[in-house]
Amino acid sequence: MRHAYDTETVRAAEQTLMRELPDGALMRRAAAGLAVACGDVLRRNGRVYGSRVLLLVGGGDNGGDTLYAGARLARRGAGVRALLAAPGKAHPGGLAELLAAGGAVIGTPDGFGPVDLVVDGITGIGGRGGLRPDAERLVREATAGRAPVVAVDLPSGVEADTGQVLGPAVRADVTVTFGTYKPGLLIDPAAGHAGALRLVDIGLGSVLPARPCLEALQYEDVAALLPVPGTESDKYRRGVVGVAAGSRQYPGAAVLAVSGALHGGAGAVRYAGPGADAVIARHPETLVHPGRPAEAGRVQAWVVGPGLGNTPEAVEAVADVLAADVPVLVDADGLRLMDTGAVRARDAATVLTPHAGEAAALLGVAREEVEAGRLAAVRELAARYDATVLLKGSTTLVAEPGGAPVRVNPTGTSWLATAGSGDVLSGLAGSLLAAGLAPRDAASVGAYLHGLAARRASAGAPVAARDVAARIPEVWRDVYA
Ligand SMILES: NC(=O)C1=CN([C@@H]2O[C@H](COP(=O)(O)OP(=O)(O)OC[C@H]3O[C@@H](n4cnc5c(N)ncnc54)[C@H](O)[C@@H]3O)[C@@H](O)[C@H]2O)[C@@H](O)CC1
Ligand SMILES: [K+]
């Protein structure tokens, strides 16, 4: 599990630790880890000795880390030059150490010739807003030669706590972050600027609060959470998931939701709605009922919404499902038809799976506002509906009311935006609910498997939803193997 803490918490933890350590010790620890990471990048194309390294140095401690790390590289024989984004404010200790090690300050990258590495030490957790014009110009000049870029703590210019990119920002190949991940390193679009992440332990673990603000499942977490497939021969013991989806207008959504449900670990899928013929034609193993969900027999969880349309039967199906005393997942048209009071009155778990547009409608705000503040939006929805909320996007987020860490899905891809892929996800997550996973786990494991399956199916291009569904079993086997 990758944990992330907001910058205010990180700063407080760093201050606490600094009080117990000699001056500058934390910065030197950070710089040592940064120098090792830079050495690894340099060694990809040769050696540290004789390589040419360009430091972009800001006026705060982020610049300090960079100068001390530059001094270490210079002592190992690299040619190191510093460009100061805030002349006169550069960290004096770091600057002295760089010069003593044979490094130098230059005014422009011209004259230093082609470099092997650029180190972005302009701003870390003290950065506010996109890069200022002078800093942006420095970055543009320094990165014109296409050398690899290592960002220090964060790519300068991104919002560390929200993942937003409000102005010009560095695009790094690697981000070396200190003590803990920050939300902006895990949430798009900022995460897209960070490149590969390397975490340097500077001893913060002992002073950070137990509960992070954000966490991202890793392979091993998913393997531990997945219900063991096939151990209970009695498929009904593995839970039956009900799917109330589709309409005469959109029978396809029912087929896709059922295809996701069939791969989610539930023992059986029970379909209720007008798409029964289309469903049984594609998935003959489905238990189908042409009537309303309330007449469809027992299930351990319901999925309601994909392709329902807004017919009277649709309204009835949503009401039936919300009245059922089992965990339910509401998606797509179900989100539009559901009654807030009915959702909040439920005892059993409720999972809502809006995309940004549906979240905006539920919150009564513009879609751009949701896209600009995804973390705040998903938390607000979870509180307002007292439900687990999965906010789809190139970084899917899962929030619960009551302040549990928000889950960030690390396997998302923008290619998932194709029609119907949400139907597959809702069936998959609902099936994991029926198989007994807690709501937050069912939603985040569902998103994880769904994202992996999309990556397999797409090979870099938009992917058809049915191809995503088809890849889920192999992804499951790999995670579980
Ligand atoms: N506090 C600590 O104990 C430690 C801090 N460390 C480093 O210190 C960093 C935090 O240092 P600071 O609090 O000094 O802040 P930063 O160094 O991150 O940034 C502050 C500097 O950036 C400038 N700045 C702010 N926004 C800008 C923008 N949009 N464009 C251009 N310049 C901008 C400010 O004027 C100031 O000079 C961390 O990210 C990390 O790299 C590490 O050494 C670990 C220990
Ligand atoms: K930086």
**Band of pLDDT at residue 416, cut at 50, 70 and 90:** low
Rounded to the nearest whole angstrom, what is the distance from the C-alpha of residue 88 to the centroid of ligand 2?
19
CA dihedral 260, 265, 268, 274 (to 10 degrees): -20
How many A from CA of 119 to the centre of ligand 2?
A: 8
pLDDT given at position 321 = 98
Model confidence at 232, pLDDT cuts 50, 70, 90, reads low
Condensed to tens digits (0 to 9), the pLDDT of residues 245-300 reads 999 888 899 999 999 999 888 889 999 999 999 999 999 999 999 889 999 989 99
130 among the known binding-site residues?
A: yes
Centroid of ligand 2 to alpha carbon of 198 (angstroms): 13
pLDDT at residue 124 in the model: 98
What local confidence, expressed as pLDDT, does residue 358 receive? 97
Give φ, ψ of 259 to 5 degrees. -65, -40
Query: Going by C-beta distance under 8 Å and a sequence separation of 6 or more, which residues neighbour residue 358?
Result: 332, 335, 336
Tell me, what's the ipTM? Answer: 0.97
Segment 145-152 mean pLDDT: 95
Q: Does the pLDDT value for residue 236 go beyond 80? A: no
CA of 476 to the centre of ligand 2 (A): 37
In this prediction, residue 226 has a pLDDT band, given cuts at 50, 70 and 90, of confident
What pLDDT score was predicted for residue 418?
Answer: 73
- What mean pLDDT is predicted for residues 365-369? 95
pLDDT band, residue 234 (cuts 50/70/90)? low
List domains and CATH numbers for the chain: 2-214 (3.40.50.10260), 219-480 (3.40.1190.20)
Q: Is 65 in the pocket of ligand 1 (CB under 6 A)?
A: yes
Structure tokens at 447: 């998103």
Other CB atoms closer than 10 Å to residue 400's CB: what's the count?
23
Let me know: does 301 contact 326? Beta carbons within 8 Å: yes
CA distance 269 to 431: 8
Kindly report, residue by residue over 48-102, the tens digit of the pLDDT: 999 999 999 999 999 999 999 999 999 999 999 999 999 999 999 999 999 999 9
* Average per-residue pLDDT for the chain: 93
Does 235 count as an annotated binding residue? no
- Tell me what pLDDT residue 476 has: 85
- pLDDT band at residue 231, thresholds of 50, 70 and 90? low
What does 149-197 look like in DSSP terms, one character per residue? EEEESS-TTS-TTT----S-----SEEEEESSB-GGGTSTTTHHHH-EE
pLDDT above 80: residue 237 = no
Evaluate if residue 206 carries a pLDDT over 60: yes
Q: Please report the pLDDT score of residue 250 as a whole number.
A: 85
Ligand lying closest to the C-alpha of residue 171: 2
125 CB within 6 A, ligand 1: yes
Q: Say if residue 229's pLDDT is above 80.
A: no
pTM for the full predicted model: 0.90
Which residue owns the Cα nearest ligand 1 atom 15? 126
Summarised one tens digit per residue, pLDDT across range 158-198 is 999 999 999 999 999 999 999 999 999 999 889 999 999 99
Q: How far, in Å, are 256, 418, 469 from residue 464 at the CA level?
A: 11, 7, 9
What is the pLDDT, as a whole number, of residue 235?
65
Nearest protein CA to atom 2 of ligand 1, as residue: 14
Q: Is 27 close to ligand 1, i.e. is its CB under 6 Å away? A: yes
Q: Count of CB atoms within 10 A of residue 376's CB?
A: 14
List Cα–Cα distances, 380 to 9, 34, 345, 375, 399, in angstroms. Answer: 21, 37, 18, 9, 9
Which of 28, 61, 137 has most ligand 1 atoms within 8 Å of its beta carbon, as the pocket-test mutant?
61
Closest Cα to residue 221, out of 450, 22, 410, 9? 410
What's the pLDDT at 417?
Answer: 66
Q: Which ligand is nearest to the CA of 30?
A: 1
CB distance 137 to ligand 1 below 6 Å: no
Q: What is the predicted pLDDT for the residue at 460? A: 72
pLDDT band of residue 225 (cuts 50, 70, 90) is: very high
Residue 238 — very low, low, confident or very high, per pLDDT cuts 50/70/90?
Answer: confident
Nearest atom within ligand 1 for CA of residue 89: 37
87 lines ligand 1 (CB under 6 A): no
CA of 130, closest atom in ligand 1 = 29
Does the beta carbon of 90 sit less than 6 angstroms from any atom of ligand 1?
no
Residue 112 has what pLDDT? 85
* Span from the CA of 42 to the centroid of ligand 1 (angstroms): 25
CA of 380 to the centre of ligand 2 (A): 30
Q: What is the mean pLDDT of residues 7-23?
A: 95
Q: Which of 41-45, 108-112, 364-368 has the lowest mean pLDDT?
A: 108-112
Residue 403: CB atoms within 10 A of its CB come to 12
CA 339 to chain centre: 29
Q: Where does residue 257 rank: exposed (0-12), middle (13-18), buried (19+ CB within 10 A)?
A: buried
Spatial separation of the C-alpha atoms in residues 264 and 419, rounded to whole Å: 20
114-129 pLDDT per residue, tens: 999 999 999 999 999 9
For 431-471, what is the HEC assignment?
A: HHHHCCCCHHHHHHHHHHHHHHHHHHHHCCCCCCHHHHHHH
Nearest protein Cα to ligand 1, atom 16: 126
Would the pLDDT of 30 be above 80? yes
Distance from the alpha carbon of residue 341 to the mean position of ligand 1, in angstroms: 46
Ligand 2 centre to CA of 158 (Å) is 9
Confidence bin at 413 (pLDDT 50/70/90): confident
- Tell me the three state secondary structure of residue 310: coil
Which residue out of 55, 62, 200 has the highest number of ligand 1 atoms within 8 Å of its CB and is therefore the one to mutate? 62
Q: For residue 304, which of 293, 290, 289, 288 has the smallest C-alpha distance?
A: 293
Ligand 1 pocket check for 59: Cβ under 6 Å: yes
Q: What is the pLDDT of residue 49?
A: 96
CA distance linking residue 84 with residue 90, whole number of Å: 7
Residue nearest to atom 41 of ligand 1 (CA): 62
